[in-house]
A and B are shown apart, each in its own frame.
Chain A
Amino acid sequence: MSWRSTSVGFMVVGVVVALVIPVFATPRPVSQVNLASDQTLRMVIREPTSMDPNLAGDHSIWYVDQVFEGLYKILDDGNVRWLGAKSMEISKDGLTWTFRLNPAARWSDGKPVTASDYEWSWKRAMDPKLASDVASFYVAIKGADDYISGKLKDSSQIGIKALDAYTLQVTMAEPAPYFRAVAGLTYLYPVPRHVVEKYGDKWTEAGNIVGNGVFTMQSWKHDQEMVLVRNESYWGKRPTLQKVIFRIAPAGELCGADFRAYEANETDFAMCVPTADIDRVMRHPQMSKELTAELLSASQFLVFDTGRAPWNDARVRQAFNLAIDREKVVRALSRGLFKPTKVLVPPGIQGYDPGHALQMTAADAGRLLGEAGYAGGRGFPDFKLTAPDIRGNRTLAELLQQMWKETLGVTAQIEIMEPKAFSAWRSARKNQPFDMYTRGGWWSDYEDPTNWYNIFFVDGWLNSHWQHEQFLQLVKAAAPELNKAKRIALYDQADRILERESPTIGLWYFTDYWMRKPWLKDLQHTRILGFFWLRDAVILAH
């Protein structure tokens, strides 16, 4: 995930952007007759670190998303589902965005959701005194940067204005069309000013919290249980589910606890299957039907320090790339449920093309290393593969170590670091040398190529020290390109260079392993950050 979206300049002409797609009803194949009388969904979650949309930047967004809603939601098929807004207009110069809000929208205490709620919430999210890390999603807006860093004190100078009760006008610092993908994210959901001001820090506790989503919070015993109930005053179609019981499990053991509870029939839905149990699930006559691997816009990859020998030689990087048998890696780590990839960016990101991958085989790996002067791995310097102790990185490191040893004759030393220590180490690589690292992958925050190429290499967030002039020019030019076809062509060209040069090695696309009991239907997954859409889910009689 990234929160950085700076250095993205963009020119949009467009009069009224053709975003105005009518609200469409979710297909409802299930006949209402079959519904269970008790519409209660039970599942296991992690304790949210905050239920405040202005603060929630981690897994908490999944639960915030049930209790609150934003302007709209972009679905996996690219369609827009209008929620808090009815339409959006962008001015000719691309600087002024006007959202027409839905006057029917209500807070769960009955008060209307107005444009000034949005204005106040968004400014609150940027407030240095709140110090929220979701603030970085607002940087496209005029004055946001300065307000966040404390240089600008007067919040009325920020380009967010409620023109009337149901018209919200946003002025950009410079045209930034990627904001279309951002405006509907949980980080830009509104909060109820009257409640926040009344209860302060405690406004998200059960009893205090007021949302605008399809569910409201009935109770929240920290680290034990959270219960949501249907919001009967929701403006639109209310969900079929009456009640959602979240049992809260400890973070480190979440996957095991989630799956065991599911297997013991204590829950209807599990978001995880421990790797060791996947085979058993797949062989099981019933459970195998309940398991689906839902593709995420997220990939795992390896990063080289291209600024120093031997990694500054593209042939070495290519050799290391070609020596990896991704099918085997994915089988060992996910029993084939992750999707192997030879390229970095996932489908849905402009520039993606599996055809850009190196058109060579593992047999070429040794040859390339030989051409670089290390035939059979002879004379290759000692090197270290660094990884944080999260999400199978340890196993991945052991797999890569073995594959390189067998194919290239070189032995990586593995260094597994405690996650925070790894983060500190990685941040310090800005100006310091290393060999290679893997981390917990990267999840698209929003589906736009700037969220990958520009952040990774222009902002230099990967610290890969890769300064390819032509590539950088292409992605810098592509970001603000208005012509859609031209933009795709530019990113396509850039991606071609990226894959040929291999400063990073794509390994797999992540998937969510979802287990759904046969009676749970219409629970939708979104590939951006793996949201689950409880609003359409139903429980069949069973």
Chain B
Amino acid sequence: MRGYVLRRLLALIPTLLLIYTIVFFLMRATPGGPWDETGTRPVFPEVKANLMKKYHLTDPLWKQYVDYLAGALHGDLGPSYRQRGRTVNEIIADFFPISLRLGLAAMAVAIGCGVPLGFLAAVRQDTRVDRGLMFLAVIGISTPSFVVATVLIVVFGVYLRWVPTSGWAGLLSRQALIPVFALALWPLAAVARYARSSMLDVIRADYVRTAKAKGLRELAIVVRHAAKNALIPVVTIAGVYLAFVVTGSFYVESVTGVPGLGRYLVLSISARDYPVIMGTTLLLAIIVMVVNLIVDLSYALLDPRIRYE
């Protein structure tokens, strides 16, 4: 087990290098550079030359590749091109904790509500409860988060004025309600579906039938025997969504005005802010990979038949 974890952690290195390489070259292959004018800002050619020089973009490509990598290994992710005077490290330190908190809160809501609801639907298969819950789940899945967030803001912010229309004042504030819920809705619905589906599989398994035949009460069966096994696919999917929620909350962050990393990453892509794109991509990559490792380890925890050597 320890060897396995160590091997997986070592495997992060080539994966990260691969991602670094792909991002590095893809960024530069994309049309438009950081100082091509955007809608409002033509840039004087001499100034553009100065900027290119200042940020070492006139160096040969291999040198840029090596230099940034060397910097990154020393924990220096470079300066932001768009936000003059700010470094990627500062930007990440500012925004990542917000994204992380928001993501974790949303995931806690999604799993905390999704798993019990899914199990409930499975146990009550083909009843009104089941159909009603799955119908709601479908609505949850089929509504894009930017629509959910906008509608919630209009209803609860503009009309009812229960919560501010945008902004961020920490996780434990009224401002956080809409982003957390909007972000949680989709994974909640998906987790509920997977939980139901996987619980159905388990309920039909022989050992559960045996238990039932022995006269154990349904709830006891679910709790004692079925839940643990039914959680395996749910864990996979929850891990996937956790990464998604932490990294991909761009839409919700944009609409609700939460200053998170997802929103920042998209801004940086449209500004061709290479160091910010690279720095945040690498950070998100590490998170995703660590989450994946945890998911894989949790299989072993939940299913003794899976062994990692």
A residues in contact (CB < 8 Å) with B: 1-4, 44, 47, 49-50, 52, 55, 57-59, 128-129, 131-133, 135-136, 139, 145, 148-150, 201-202, 204, 222-225, 247-253, 256-257, 260-261, 263-266, 388, 390-391, 418-425, 427, 439-440, 443, 461
B39 near A424 (CB under 8 angstroms)?
no
Q: CB of B206 within 8 A of chain A?
A: no
A247 near B41 (CB under 8 angstroms)?
no
- Interface residue from B38, B95, B270, B271 paired with A223 (Cβ < 8 Å): B95
**A52 surroundings in chain B (CB, below 8 A):** 84-85
Bound-state CA distance A50–B37 (Å) is: 17
Q: CB of B233 within 8 A of chain A?
A: no
Taking CB as reference atom, which chain B residue is nearest A260? B165
The secondary-structure label for the interface of chain A is loop
Given A1-B40, A149-B49, A222-B259, CB of A251 within 8 Å of CB of B158: no
A128 near B53 (CB under 8 angstroms)?
yes
Q: CB of B116 within 8 A of chain A?
A: no
Taking CB as reference atom, which chain B residue is nearest A261? B165
- Interface residue from A4, A58, A250 paired with B40 (Cβ < 8 Å): A58
Binds A, one of B28-36, B64-72, B184-192, B220-228: B28-36
B255 near A253 (CB under 8 angstroms)?
yes
- Per the 8 Å Cβ criterion, residues 18-63 of B in contact with A are 30-33, 35-44, 46-51, 53-54
Given A264-B161, A420-B32, A421-B32, CB of A247 within 8 Å of CB of B167: yes
**B161 surroundings in chain A (CB, below 8 A):** 264-265
B94 near A266 (CB under 8 angstroms)?
no
Bound-state CA distance A419–B271 (Å) is: 9
Bound-state CA distance A465–B88 (Å) is: 41
Bound-state CA distance A257–B94 (Å) is: 22
Bound-state CA distance A7–B138 (Å) is: 63
Bound-state CA distance A503–B293 (Å) is: 61
Q: CB of B292 within 8 A of chain A?
A: no
**B94 surroundings in chain A (CB, below 8 A):** 222-223
B164 near A266 (CB under 8 angstroms)?
yes
- Interface residue from B31, B36, B44 paired with A3 (Cβ < 8 Å): B44
B158 near A263 (CB under 8 angstroms)?
yes
A389 to chain B, nearest CB (A): 10
**A264 surroundings in chain B (CB, below 8 A):** 157-158, 161, 164-165
- Interface residue from A59, A133, A139, A225 paired with B43 (Cβ < 8 Å): A133
Q: CB of B196 within 8 A of chain A?
A: no
Given A131-B47, A131-B53, CB of A423 within 8 Å of CB of B36: yes
Given A50-B83, A57-B41, A58-B40, CB of A420 within 8 Å of CB of B271: yes
B166 near A136 (CB under 8 angstroms)?
no
Bound-state CA distance A149–B82 (Å) is: 22
Q: List 25 A-B contacts (CB under 8 A).
A: A3-B42, A52-B84, A59-B40, A133-B48, A145-B46, A150-B50, A201-B84, A222-B86, A223-B95, A223-B264, A247-B166, A250-B259, A252-B267, A253-B257, A260-B153, A263-B158, A264-B161, A266-B164, A419-B39, A419-B270, A420-B30, A420-B33, A420-B270, A423-B38, A439-B39
B150-168 near A? 1/0 per residue, CB < 8 Å: 1001100110010011111
We find that the number of chain B residues with CB closer than 8 angstroms to chain A is: 52
- Interface residue from B30, B95, B166 paired with A249 (Cβ < 8 Å): B166
A122 to chain B, nearest CB (A): 15
Bound-state CA distance A132–B83 (Å) is: 12
Bound-state CA distance A57–B157 (Å) is: 34
Q: Which 10 A/B pairs are nearest by Cβ-Cβ distance?
A: A420-B32, A440-B39, A223-B259, A136-B44, A131-B50, A423-B36, A201-B85, A424-B32, A421-B31, A149-B46
- Interface residue from B37, B91, B95, B263 paired with A423 (Cβ < 8 Å): B37
Bound-state CA distance A257–B178 (Å) is: 14
- Per the 8 Å Cβ criterion, residues 265-309 of B in contact with A are 267, 270-272
Bound-state CA distance A248–B167 (Å) is: 8
- Interface residue from B50, B83, B257 paired with A128 (Cβ < 8 Å): B50
B71 to chain A, nearest CB (A): 17
**B47 surroundings in chain A (CB, below 8 A):** 3, 131-133, 135-136, 148
Q: Tell me which of A47, A260, A390 has the highest count of chain B C-beta atoms within 10 A of its own C-beta.
A: A260
